[in-house]
Amino acid sequence: MKKRLLPMLLAMILLLSACGLPGRSTAPETPQAQEPGAAQIQMYHTTEGDASESERAENEEASQPEQASPAPSESTPELPAEPVQIDLGNTAVLDVELVRVLNYMPELKVDLRYAGTNNFTGDVVYNIDEPYLRLGTVKKLMAAQSMLREQGYELVLWDAFRPPEAQYVLFDAHPNGADVANPYGGGHSSHSSGGSVDVALMKNGELVELPSDFDDFSALGDRDYSDVSAEAAANARLLEKVMTACGFVGYSKEWWHFADTTGYNYADVESAVLPEQATRVYESVCNEYINIRRVANPTAEPLGNVPNGEHMTVLSYLSGFAHIQYGDVTGYVNSYYIKPVY
C-alpha cells in the first residue's frame, strides 16, 4: 500500500508546485512591458535597469537632497494616467497614408524651419509650405497636443515629412554622418518615412525655455540635461514624457526629435507628389481621363474615371498615387496626371 501511495504523493506535489502555492513565491512578478500601438497607448514605465538616459538623470535628481540641486522654476506637471484616444470616425483614409496635418490639427502652431531660411543651412531646403505626416502619426500627435493643453502647453512643429531629396541638401551643408543621415551612403532620415516629427513646447503663445535651438549639433542638443538650466531640463522632460506616452520614441542626440513607434516603409511615400502650396483641389491633366483605382496599384480594379480638366478633392498620398474623392467615388489616381488648383 505504501508503495502505491508514494507515487501519488509525488505527483500531487509536482502538480501543486507547477500551479504555484500562495505565499511561497521568492520574488515578485514583474509585469511585461507592452509596446504602445495605435489602438491603445499607455503611459510608459520602466524599471531602473531599463531606464533611458533622461529617465536615469531625472531619478538621480529626485534622489538628491533639495539643497544639492536647484529646483526648476515651475515643477513638471503630473500627467493623466492615459492620453486621450483619437477617434476620427469613419474615414476612407488609412493610417499608412500621408496627409496634410492641418486638415486634422488646424490650430497647431507650425514653424517649418526647412521651408524657410531659419535653419543651419541658411537656405530653403524644401519647397512644401505645410507639414505632412502619416495619418497614424497625426493621431498620436493629436493625443500629445491634447495632453499638453490640459497643462497649459502646446506643441510647435518644426519638421515633419521631409522629401528624400532634401536630405542631400542637409548633408551637403553639414557632411557629418554622426549628425545628419548620409543619403549618399544609403542613409535615410526617419522624417522621409512620414513618421517622425521635430517639436518644441510653447505656453501663452511663446516658446518656453528649452535646452537649445533647433538643430543644435553641440552637447546642448542632446538628452543629457546636466548642462542646461533646471527649467529647460524640466520642459524638455515634460515634452519627452508626453510624446513617449502617446506612442513616440526620442533620439538621444536631439531633444526635439520623435519617431512614431509604428514603423513605416520609406518606399510608400518617397515618390509622393506634394503641392508646393497646400491645397486639396486638383485637376485631371490626362488626354481623355484618368482611372480611379480601388487601391494604390496601377493594375487594381477601376472604380470610375475623372475626365480631363475635371476637379477632384485629394484626401491623402501613398506611393505615386493620390487618394481622391470625385463625386460619390473615392479611390486612387496616378499623381502624375493631376495638378493642384489654387
Q: Is the pLDDT of residue 56 over 80?
A: no
Highest average pLDDT, of 271-275, 316-320, 329-333, comes from 329-333
CA distance 78 to 80: 7
Global confidence as pTM? 0.75
Does the pLDDT of residue 333 top 50, yes or no?
yes
> Residue 89 pLDDT > 80, yes or no?
no
Q: So what's the pLDDT on residue 228?
A: 94
**What pLDDT does 90 receive?**
63
Cell numbers found for residue 79:
500627467
pLDDT top residue among 331 and 8: 331
112 contacts: CB under 8 Å, gap ≥ 6? 128, 129, 130, 131, 157, 158, 159, 160
Closest Cα partner for 106 from 136, 131, 135, 140? 131
Task: Quote the pLDDT of residue 302.
Answer: 95
Return the higher-pLDDT residue of 148 and 44. Answer: 148
- Does position 252 have pLDDT exceeding 80, yes or no? yes
**Phi, psi (degrees; rounded to nearest 5) at 122:** 80, 5
Spell out the domains of the chain, with CATH numbers in brackets.
Answer: 52-62+69-265 (3.30.1380.10), 271-340 (2.30.30.40)
Q: What percent of the chain has pLDDT over 70?
A: 74
pLDDT at 130 over 90: yes
Q: How far is CA 319 from the centre of its chain?
A: 19
Residues 323, 93: contact at Cβ < 8 Å?
A: yes
- Report the DSSP beta bridge partners of residue 324: 314, 331
55-77 average pLDDT score: 37
What is the enclosing helix (H) or strand (E) of 339? strand 338-340
What CA–CA distance (Å, rounded) separates 315 from 132?
Answer: 12
State the Cα–Cα distance between residues 97 and 323, nearest whole angstrom. Answer: 9
Using pLDDT thresholds of 50, 70 and 90, give the confidence band for residue 207: very high
Q: Is 215 helix (H, G, I), strand (E, B) or coil?
A: coil
Q: What interhelical angle do 53-63 and 230-245 show, nearest 10?
A: 130
Q: What is the pLDDT of residue 30?
A: 33
> Dihedral sign, CA of 227, 231, 233, 236?
negative
Average pLDDT over all residues of the chain:
80
Q: For strands 196-203 and 206-207, give the pairing.
A: antiparallel
Could you tell me the sign of the dihedral formed by the alpha carbons of 219, 213, 138, 41, in that order? positive
What's the confidence (pLDDT) of residue 91?
A: 78
Residue 327: pLDDT band (50, 70, 90) is: very high
Angle at 134 between CA 131 and CA 136, to 5 degrees: 125
Contact 268, 311 (CB under 8 A): no
